[in-house]
Amino acid sequence: MSTMIEPMKSSAIATETAIHAPRVVSIDVFRGLTMTLMIFVNELAGVTGLPWWNYHAPAKMDAMTYVDMVFPAFLFIVGMTIPIALERRLQKNSSMSSTFRHVLLRTVALIILGLILANAEQGNRNLFGISTNLWAILSLFGAVLLWNVYGRSERYRVLFNVLRFAGLALMLTMLLLFRRTTHQGHIAWLNISYPEILGLIGYTYLSVSILYLATRRWQWAPLVWLVVLTALCAFSTAKWISFPRTTPLYLWPLGNGAMASISMAGVLLSSLFLGKLSHRWPTLRHKTIGAIAFALLSLLWGWLLTPLGISKIRATPTWCLYSIGSSVLCFTLLYWICDVKKWNRWTAFTRPAGENTLLTYLLPDFYYFVTAAVGLTYFTTHANEGLSGVIRCIIFTALILSISALLTRCRLRLQL
């Protein structure tokens, strides 16, 4: 990608440029690094004897650690890709209804996957006849068959359709079979109160995509929405309004505005570097100055809101704004390294995680369910403290990335 982008004559031209631009390597690298760190810290959560900053900060503590910044970095990347993907889809098919349908189906898929992961440990095998680990493995295997990207060969088209149908049937069968016992002793179906990280991403993707599509012709809309969503988060955290805390996500996917504000910040930065705002900052120097200013303002704004607390678990506005500021700076640096200087050899280990993200995300869960099903506990019971635990987490992360790379080379790629 050129270090200099020519001035745009209109926002429409800027959008067209974003659609036809080469793949932005820094987005894949940022996503891959974030996914790598997410795998590591998730595994690290089971290791004891480490300094407190290696874990999520407790809810009652006004603090945030590097662990608390991993999930928002991923939300930020989701926001960056929204205008690129949706504008490309709109160019191929100008029907807004079909685009909304695509967004809705993708959201439902993420929520279903999230509910599978969130409910796996709550199932009662006596009520549906198989172990909860096997139930989760079969459910996820069905999802892989359904959402795998198959080839375009007409020769195997029937086979590919059969595999998709088999995956859908298997996943639906597992979902229909699921039963759990509530705290009151009642038999119930899926618990939808917490849809796991994938479900939270799904709701955030839905809400931010709707806001983007509804106001996409106004180039400053992402900035306005970012201010509105941050204000919603602040008002909710201060308990000036209560409905975001009491309304389910399936009725109000914006939640308290925290996750949506982080993704909307990604939309804004994407517009600055690649989309409708890029014509106002046509050179790399202009873009860098704009991005650094955006980051510093976010950090300053977050500091001003510190009386409301600093916490990922409480989803405070300062946590959001500090995460936004750090994500903006990280992407700007990666853009200069990967897309301007094209120093990309060092990124080889992150590419599968960045390009085949959903599969990479699910691989640790497959590992946990399979090892639990066969009763393999040696590694977690013999290397779960201090330095030995950290080394185990590093090896585990490398193993997952290696398996992801191998499966990607074997053309197993998930796409919703």
Q: With DSSP H G I counted as helix, E B as strand and the rest as coil, what are the percentages for the chain, rounded to 5?
A: 70, 5, 25
- Return the SS3 of 263: helix
Strand-pair category, 187-188 with 180-181: antiparallel
What are 270's two structure tokens? 């994407």
Which tokens belong to 291? Answer: 């991005």
Instruction: State the average pLDDT for the chain.
Output: 90
Is position 74 within any domain? yes
Residue 55 lies in a domain: yes
pLDDT in tens, 292-321: 999 999 999 999 999 999 999 999 999 999
pTM of the model: 0.91
At residue 93, does pLDDT exceed 80?
no
pLDDT at 337 over 50: yes
What is the band of 291 on the pLDDT scale with cuts at 50, 70, 90? Answer: very high
Asked, for residue 169, whether it belongs to a domain, the answer is no
Number of domains, the chain: 1
Domain of 330, in residue numbers? 11-124+179-409
Residue 4 DSSP class: B
Residue 297 included in any domain: yes
Helix 258-273 vs helix 221-237: crossing angle, to nearest 10: 160
Given its phi and psi angles, is residue 216 left (phi above 0), alpha (psi -120 to 50 degrees) or beta? alpha
State the pLDDT confidence band at 95, using cuts at 50, 70 and 90.
confident
Residue 305 corresponds to which tokens in the numbers above?
């809101």
pLDDT of residue 156: 87
pLDDT grade for 22, boundaries at 50, 70 and 90: low
Q: Is residue 163 part of a domain?
A: no
Beta-carbon contacts of 268 under 8 Å, excluding residues fewer than 6 positions away, are 79, 222, 223, 226, 277, 294
Q: What is the pLDDT of residues 129-140, one digit of tens each?
A: 899 999 999 999
**Entry field: residues in the chain:** 416
* Domain presence at residue 130: no
Paired with 4 in beta bridges are: 283
Percent of the chain topping pLDDT 90: 74
Phi, psi values for residue 168, rounded to 5°:
-65, -45
In a domain, 305, yes or no: yes
- Distance CA(46)–CA(381), nearest Å, equals 10
- Across the range 37-53, mean pLDDT stands at 94
Residue 415 falls within a domain, yes or no? Answer: no
H or E element in which residue 142 lies: helix 132-147
Residue 10: what pLDDT?
37
Which whole number is the average pLDDT over 284-292? 92
